[in-house]
Amino acid sequence: MDYQNPKPSNTILHTEILFYIREDNSIPKSMLYFIKHLTADEQQIVTNSPLYVSLLIAGADGNFDTDEKKRIVELVHIKTFTERFELQNLYKNLNNDSEEQIRNMISSLPENTDERNTILSELIARLNDIFPKLDASFSVQLYSSLRQFAVYISTADGGWWGISAVSDAEKAFVKLPMLNPPVH
């Protein structure tokens, strides 16, 4: 590293956005690049998908536990810096007002657990039609991230270090059976 220029040599600063240059000298693209060609409705499905997954898992047992809601907010925040670059914007956009978005979504969903689970499952399943429209690598990353997120949310409700914390209702959805692995 050049001490006169503290930036690492593998980065460039362009219009106040830091891009990391890969070993093959390509610049990774953000989530916005991968979804800009989708319809506004499809973009909304993609950008809200972590919250749909979270609410499906957290509310599968009939109630939205305070610990689960807190854990959703924490996990969204954690994903802003632990997720692959291409998906970080997805979580950064949610991180800005995730508590309010969660409250609004919960209040707009039916109180009946089966109806709510059906609506959320259908919203998540819409990704199956969107995946083929996305870059193959990006769709696989999104799919994996959502499945991982579901597991994290399912263990938020207690147990001893999260062991045996997953309720039977959550177990039915934790693997996101309505979501097919992307095939290109």
The secondary element (H helix, E strand) that includes residue 12 is strand 11-14
The answer to the question of residue 27 being in a domain is: no
Mean pLDDT (whole number) for 50-60? 93
Identify the H or E element spanning 58. Answer: helix 40-59
Q: Is 63 helix (H, G, I), strand (E, B) or coil?
A: coil
Range(s) of the domain holding residue 147: 39-171
Residue 114 domain flag: yes
Residue 137 domain-assigned (yes or no):
yes
Number of domains in the chain: 1
Query: Is the residue at 25 inside a domain?
Result: no
The model carries a pTM of 0.79
Q: What is the SS3 string spanning 100-150?
A: HHHHHHHHHCCCCHHHHHHHHHHHHHCHHHHHHHCCHHHHHHHHHHHHHHH
Write out the H or E segment, with its range, that includes residue 92: helix 85-95
Q: Is residue 120 part of a domain?
A: yes
Name the band, by pLDDT with cuts 50, 70 and 90, for residue 90.
Answer: confident
Q: Which residue has the higher pLDDT, 51 or 89?
A: 51
Q: Please give the share of the chain, as a percent, with pLDDT higher than 90.
A: 39
